[in-house]
Structure 1
Amino acid sequence: MTAIDDSTVRDPDALRADMVRALRDENGVKTEPVAAAFAAVPRHKFAPDASAELAYSLHRTVPVKKDEHGMDISVMSAAHLQAVMLEQAEVEPGMKVLEIGSGGVNAAYLQELVGSEGEVTTVDIDRDVIDRARQCLDDAGYAQVKTVLDDGEHGVPDGAPYDRIIVTAAAWDIPPSWISGLAEKGRLVVPLTVCGTTRSIAFDRDGAGLISRSYGLAHFVPMQGEGAADERKVMLREGIALQTDDVRVPLEAQALNAALGMPRLEHWSGAAYDLPDELDLFLTLKLPSPARLHASQDVVASGLVEASALKGVPALVSEDSIAYRTRRENADTGGFESGVIAHGPQAEALADQYADLLRRWARNHRRRGAATFRYLPGPAPTPLPEDAVLRRHGIVTATWA
């Protein structure tokens, strides 16, 4: 990463130039049009209550609005993530673009990319957020960007079809309005969340549905309104939680907490462990009853739960048992070996299922290319395909080479 010169940290122009260089160094910016957009937009004017150093930080967000519990419900996303998504979008001059979720600065980048002949519309469900975006856009010289107060679930039909739709909140599903609002050769870039893990996916049209062209790890505040996630979370005990958005998964907190009190089973797969983000995505989409296990630092330090759960780890759960991924050093597998920790009356059966998937990943998919996502709108087929994730408006599938 490019170091920022301490002598210029209070000069927004210098900070902006340093940010662009750092984005290039970290492969966030890959093309000249995106670099030029980041060099042109005065990012600090969209974060008037934050320091310029924070506004131009590559990986830090700027809070915009919090809920009554103090949780962020709107932020100015980190510059690196915004750059990655704009590169995914491949916006061209003259295009018509819809942004769903408004912070202001991303709409300004989009306006730079589409140029004077293009159109940018940004929509948000929150009046405070959209009013703030409007003010910041005007102050920064982007009065031509159109701002709309509405639920992004509905899109903005008045301006459709759009060449690009870019979503800047974590979406649980893809509503029909986004697909119908795309031009025939349009692209949708959306942070899609499945069972607690989110990927920014660039989708192109594929008949009535969508097919992915690229994806990357992402973190966003969740969608509000009609598109909010249908997710369940339970606390098993202090510092240990499970979450899932799969209606078929049982989350029996009392029974699963009791399972954690039973002796743990260790099952080592003999499979190499690396590329954890891609492995976790594979497990999340392939486990037959998936949830995401979270544990606090204190719980991990006590030895009850492995460190893999600190930032969330895919778990396989039944009514009374749980299994999740871990690792250990093993030179025979290239450095680390994947394994399973399981608790409860069905620990052995769950561990066997989980370990089979770890071996399948290492044998068939590890370092053999990225996944291909498809979104198929409409009623789900019966029975649901093994690799499909059920959603309100359709199904998501993922296949690996």
Structure 2
Amino acid sequence: MTTLRDVTTDTVDETRAEALRQELLRHLRGQGNVVNDHVAAAFAAVPRHRFLPDTSLDEAYADDAVITKLNDRGHPVSSVSAPWVQARMLELSGLGRGMRALEIGSGGYNAALMAELVGENGEVVSVDIDPEVTDRAQRLLAETGYDRVVRVQCADGTYGAGAAAPAEGFDAIVVTAQAPDLPPAWSDQLAPHGRLVVPLSFRGIHQVFAFGCEDGHLRSRGQTRCGFVGMQGDNRHTGHTIDLSDGDLRLGLNDDQHADADALRAALASATRTTTWTGVVLRNDEGVLPSLDLWLVATLSPCARIYASSRGVERGLSGWTIAAAATWEGGTLAYTTIRPATGGFELGVHAYGPNREQLADRLAERIRAWDSGGHRGSVEPTLRAYPAGTPVDQLAMGQIIDNRHTRLVISLP
């Protein structure tokens, strides 16, 4: 399947587009995001600019996401993901010739890449809840000839492909929106040998996991970092946030987590703080912070994310404005911070409340254990997903996260 044969357009633009496409592929190869030759061939074949007609060629072939729709509040609700993310997810999917695949979250371009992987004898079903998104995807796929392989339907992806799901299941299900849970339909519609690739959120972590079937549950088989717009429909994000200091510091909790908001606010208001520095340095461009986040969730309870505003950083509440790992106990709160160090940034812990020294030491000890125990960026925790209500004695050992549809268990291998 070669898209450029299907459409006659301006020769000069198409020649430049081809050059930019090859440049993007070299970049993806060089970064290690594309390893599989079949994935490389897909990126070489699909004209990304045809799925982003309102952007310039340079924007279309930049290794960055492009927002395609905003909601009434100006928040992104649909996008064409960054190529490096799509490449990593397709590598994890294991898609090949003649396979059947389900995409949850339409945009057109990713479905076309999947179509290249499965070939003319394969099948791709692309589902999205937004009729504007599916109409746009259907139109662009038809214009580029990929509608021969891709079938687009407007439906809530929480329920997979519905009646369009093959009886033997999909060889791969690729979710292209941030999901807070794994609905039963996804595992039910997955072939026994198949892969579910999904950007999953829990305890403030946002990572792509590739799951396979194992003894009545799902087990992670690979993962990568990510960033996606949130799912809509019945699997949209829930949880709640506690404001701890006039909007400048907030604690984000899942539905199965609880904290004494008044006690924690009082601790912050006291302005009495302990800061413990760990001696652990994040080297510039090392990219191991997601590994630390997973390690802390797997080995520390409770664990969530603290969010600081720019003003909160100016007030000295936090060392960064992005999410930091946090733990709490009664009216005591501890969370990670950073300061400049030779070659990078040193990790530390801020703690407030009556037991601040003990809780700061506990969090700092977990960070040092990650650094010294051979886990730093090389040993990733395993994530398992069991049906909700599974008795504890039938779960693997590890930290349990209770969601609406699943009991997630995250543990060290």
TM-score with structure 2 setting the length: 0.87
CA distance in 2, matches of 1:386, 1:211: 13
Aligned residue number for residue 385 of structure 2 = 375
Q: Quick one: structure 1 residues 311 and 9, their matched pair in 2 at CA, closer, same or farther if it must change by over 3 Å?
A: farther
Structure 1 letter corresponding to 2:405 = H
Structure 2 letter corresponding to 1:299 = G
1:242 aligns with 2:251: yes
Equivalent residue runs for 1:1-400 within 5 Å: 11-58=16-63, 60-144=64-148, 145-157=150-162, 158-160=164-166, 161-236=169-244, 237-250=246-259, 252=261, 254-261=262-269, 262-269=271-278, 275-307=288-320, 310-327=321-338, 338-367=347-376, 368-382=378-392, 386-400=398-412
Report the secondary structure of 1:256's partner residue: helix
Report the secondary structure of 2:73's partner residue: coil
CA distance in 2, matches of 1:121, 1:286: 39
Structure 2 letter corresponding to 1:238 = G
CA distance in 2, matches of 1:355, 1:215: 26
Identity across the alignment (%): 39
Report the secondary structure of 1:11's partner residue: helix
Deviation of 1:43 after TM superposition, in Å, equals 0.7
In terms of mean alpha carbon deviation, does 374-383 or 136-145 score higher?
A: 374-383
Are 1:292 and 1:314, in contact at CA under 8 Å, matched by a contact in 2?
yes
Q: Quick one: structure 1 residues 91 and 325, their matched pair in 2 at CA, closer, same or farther if it must change by over 3 Å?
A: same
Are 2:398 and 2:412, in contact at CA under 8 Å, matched by a contact in 1?
no
TM-score with structure 1 setting the length: 0.90
Deviation of 1:272 after TM superposition, in Å, equals 6.2
Aligned residue number for residue 3 of structure 1 = none
Aligned residues: 389
Deviation of 1:388 after TM superposition, in Å, equals 1.7
Deviation of 1:226 after TM superposition, in Å, equals 0.7
Q: Quick one: structure 1 residues 118 and 49, their matched pair in 2 at CA, closer, same or farther if it must change by over 3 Å?
A: same
Deviation of 1:346 after TM superposition, in Å, equals 3.2
CA distance in 1, matches of 2:21, 2:251: 40
Are 1:294 and 1:313, in contact at CA under 8 Å, matched by a contact in 2?
yes
Q: Flag structure 2 segments of 5+ consecutive residues without an equivalent.
A: 1-11
Deviation of 1:9 after TM superposition, in Å, equals 11
- Cα deviations by residue, 1:266-315 (Å, 9 ceiling, x for unpaired): 123455656322112211343312221111233323323223xx221111
Q: Quick one: structure 1 residues 257 and 147, their matched pair in 2 at CA, closer, same or farther if it must change by over 3 Å?
A: same
Structure 2 letter corresponding to 1:322 = L
In terms of mean alpha carbon deviation, does 133-142 or 8-17 score higher?
A: 8-17
CA distance in 1, matches of 2:214, 2:195: 10
Q: Quick one: structure 1 residues 357 and 118, their matched pair in 2 at CA, closer, same or farther if it must change by over 3 Å?
A: same
Deviation of 1:386 after TM superposition, in Å, equals 4.7
Report the secondary structure of 2:373's partner residue: helix
Structure 1 letter corresponding to 2:355 = Q
Q: Flag structure 1 segments of 5+ consecutive residues without an equivalent.
A: 1-6
Deviation of 1:382 after TM superposition, in Å, equals 4.5
Structure 1 letter corresponding to 2:318 = V
Cα RMSD for the two superposed structures: 2.5
Structure 2 letter corresponding to 1:392 = R
Are 1:290 and 1:315, in contact at CA under 8 Å, matched by a contact in 2?
yes
Are 1:66 and 1:73, in contact at CA under 8 Å, matched by a contact in 2?
yes
Report the secondary structure of 1:219's partner residue: coil
Report the secondary structure of 1:146's partner residue: strand
Are 1:8 and 1:15, in contact at CA under 8 Å, matched by a contact in 2?
no
Are 1:246 and 1:290, in contact at CA under 8 Å, matched by a contact in 2?
no
Are 2:298 and 2:412, in contact at CA under 8 Å, matched by a contact in 1?
no
